[in-house]
Each structure stands twice: as C-alpha cells, then as structure tokens.
Structure 1
Amino acid sequence: MDGDTRETIREVAIDLFSTRGFDQTSLREIAERVGLTKASLYYHYPSKQALLTAIVSPLLDGWRAVTDEAEGMAHTPDNVRHVLTTLLDVMVVNRPLASVLLRDPAGVVAAAGPLWQDMIDVATRLTNWVAGPEPTVAQRLRAIAAMEVLRAAYSSITYLREEVADAEMREVLLDSALGALRR
C-alpha cells in the first residue's frame, strides 16, 4: 500500500506542479488532494525537495542508463540510431514531467540543486557521445541540434493542443534528430 500511496502522491504533485508551479504548490495542497494529512505525507516524502527528487529521478536514471550504454558502444550510425531511439523512449515515458519542468523552471532548478547538475552532466556526456570521437565544431553543433530535437517530446505538451500518439512522436522526432546529424 505504501508504494501505491507514494505513487499517488507523486502523480498529484506532478499535476499540481505542472498547473500551479513548483514554488506555488504547498505540501498541504498535495496532501489534501491525496486525502492525507500533511504529517502522513511527510512519512512518504520528508520534504518538497525529496518529492521533486522522486519525480525527476526516473528521468535522470533513464538518461544515465542510456548514456552508460552508449559510452560502451562503438560510434556507428546503427549505434547512434539505437541510442537516440532509446533516449527518446525514456523521454516519451517521462513526458508528464515536462509540464513541471516547463511551468516553473527556476523553481525546479533551485529546488533540485545537485540533481539538476547531474542532469546537465549526463546530457553533456550523451551529447558528446552523439557528436562522435574527435568531433569537429559542426559535428558538435549537429549533436546539440539532434538532442534539442528529442527535447521536443517535452515541448509538444506546451505547444500542441492535441495529444500526440507515442508512436507518431517517436517516428517524427527520431527522423528529425537523425536528419540533424546527417553530414
């Protein structure tokens, strides 16, 4: 039951953080929405920062797994495609988190602290791998562009009014990211 309660708290927090912002949402509001006392919520998450960490960690863990796998692979076109596909899958699964990050980026960055720096470090490692060994400036820029294309999986929540099917998003964004890498 505790796992279910923790997940319910996490889902409600994502909803409130994405609609009201991280700074504007209190733990009391989250507890009330879940049907808990604030003290009970503290049993599951000792702070708002701990709750934010629980929300962001699956995304960071996924990015880290993709990056660790990539760094153990030869840099070939097939492997680049595999890595970008796997990364896109992680991003699509974690798409609800996008609204939290986009709604209140300053609040999230301030609260996330070292976790945010970990995200930047992992993203940098992966972008460097995508650029290839001993990349030119053009190759590094193309790798950055490809990674930004994949981040559109998150931005689509803000800019598209209609829901986009995961399969269509994967196809369009992967094709666009690979297009950015073409030399």
Structure 2
Amino acid sequence: MSTEDEGQPLLRTEPGDTRSRIIETARELFTTQTYRAASMRDIAERVGITKPSLYHHFRSKSEILASLVGPPIEQLESVVDGAAARATQAEIRQHVLGGCLDVMLAHRETMALLLRDASVYSDETTEVMSRMVRIVNRAIDLLTGPDPDWRRRVRAAQAFAAATDPVSQLADVPVDDLRAELLSGANAILDR
C-alpha cells in the first residue's frame, strides 16, 4: 500500500521490481553495447545492486537474455500457431505477416537485439536462439503454401525478411506507417 508524504506518493517496492529493472537495464545495455560486451557487473551497477544480488535473481547473463526475449518469442510462436489453423492461404499469409510484424513492432528494441547483434548467438544461448529460428522457419513454411517449388520458398523467405528485418533499422518511422509499408512490400514479393 502506498502512503503519501507532503503530497508525494511513496512507492511500494514489489518483489518483481528488481527483476524487472534488471531485465530493462540489460535490454538497454545489450542494445547499446552488444550482448557480449555488457557484463553482469555493468548490469548490477546500473540497477544499483551488488553483483551477488544480481546472481540471486539470475544465474547468468544468458538467463537474463532468455527472460528478455522470452515474451516476444512466445508471442511469435502463438501467432504462427494461430496462422496454421487458418482456413485459406490468404488468411494464413495475413496472419503470419501481420501478426509477426505486430509482435516485432511491439518489441522493437528486443527485436533489434535479436536481428542485429550476432553476439546473442553463442553456445550459452543456443536453446533460446534455436527456438527463434524454428519459429521463423515455420512462419516461412506457412507462407510458401502447399507443395511449393523452390522459387516459392525463396519468395516466402524474402517476404518474411522484408516484413520483419526493417523493424530494427527504422525506429524513427511511426509504427502505423512502417507496418503498412512493410506489409505492402512483403505482399508484393509473395504476389510476384
């Protein structure tokens, strides 16, 4: 329960607050310095806790990364699973491209980390990154449709990349404008 002192609310510290601050701080450091360059010490100092306190919340930097990328990866997986249940290829396409793009736009900084920082792909992060690769591959498979030839598979991969990769490069473009243009480009590739 919060109380007030001279008109200023005093904030109550929730048990998850430190963990959330660690994840947010890690996101900032990973995106500005790279995953590899940011250290557990850097994270602890920026959060304002000791390194042993940080290890109380997370056993490793890879565990922090997994907590950071877990929610958007789960959302992407849910979108792809939902697309697979659609009745027509047009509905599948719309659901895969629009849904994946919406998730990536909602998590722009995290997606920039996954798409632009090669250091997140290491032995310690294999499980998390492999899951992401499987989801992307499944999305591309859904975009190809039934019985695709190799050209159709190429266009599906190009379309998915066209819809999702620029999210991390165009942070200054308004979300609605960017979404519309990315979907237009991806659909143009698939319609070719």
2:39 corresponds to 1:26: yes
Whole-angstrom distance in 1 between the partners of 2:111 and 2:53: 27
The 8 Å contact of residues 112 and 167 in structure 2, kept in 1 or not, is answered as no
Determine the structure 2 residue equivalent to 1:109.
121
Cα-to-partner distance string for 1:101-120 (whole Å, 9 max, x where unaligned): 35531x21103111111111
2:187 corresponds to 1:174: no
* AA matched with 1:50: E
Whole-angstrom distance in 2 between the partners of 1:85 and 1:99: 18
Structure 2 SS opposite 1:181: helix
* AA matched with 2:91: D
The 8 Å contact of residues 75 and 132 in structure 1, kept in 2 or not, is answered as no
Q: How many residues align?
A: 177
Question: Aligned-pair distance for 1:4?
Answer: 2.3
Determine the structure 1 residue equivalent to 2:74.
61
Question: What's the TM-score, normalizing by structure 1?
Answer: 0.89
The 5-angstrom pairing of residues 68-147 of structure 1 reads 68-102=81-115, 104-105=117-118, 107-110=119-122, 111-147=124-160
Change in Cα spacing, 1:82 to 1:101, as seen in structure 2 (3 Å) is closer
The 8 Å contact of residues 35 and 120 in structure 2, kept in 1 or not, is answered as yes
The 8 Å contact of residues 21 and 104 in structure 1, kept in 2 or not, is answered as yes
Determine the structure 1 residue equivalent to 2:26.
13
Structure 1, unaligned runs of 5 or more = 158-162
Structure 1 range deviating more: 107-116 or 70-79: 70-79
The 8 Å contact of residues 75 and 133 in structure 1, kept in 2 or not, is answered as no
Structure 1 SS opposite 2:173: coil
Structure 2, unaligned runs of 5 or more = 1-13
The 8 Å contact of residues 98 and 155 in structure 1, kept in 2 or not, is answered as no
Determine the structure 1 residue equivalent to 2:170.
156
Whole-angstrom distance in 1 between the partners of 2:116 and 2:41: 20
RMSD: 1.6
Cα-to-partner distance string for 1:65-88 (whole Å, 9 max, x where unaligned): 111111222332233113311110
Question: Aligned-pair distance for 1:42?
Answer: 1.4
Structure 1 range deviating more: 65-74 or 77-86: 77-86
Whole-angstrom distance in 2 between the partners of 1:60 and 1:103: 16
Cα-to-partner distance string for 1:17-74 (whole Å, 9 max, x where unaligned): 1111111111111111111111221122121110011111122111211111112223
- Greater helix percent: which structure? 1
Higher relative contact order (CA 8 A, sep 6+): 1
Larger Rg: 2
Question: What's the TM-score, normalizing by structure 2?
Answer: 0.85
Structure 2 SS opposite 1:113: helix
Question: Aligned-pair distance for 1:156?
Answer: 2.5
Residue in structure 2 matching 1:35, options 42, 48, 67 = 48
Whole-angstrom distance in 1 between the partners of 2:129 and 2:95: 26
Change in Cα spacing, 1:174 to 1:59, as seen in structure 2 (3 Å) is same
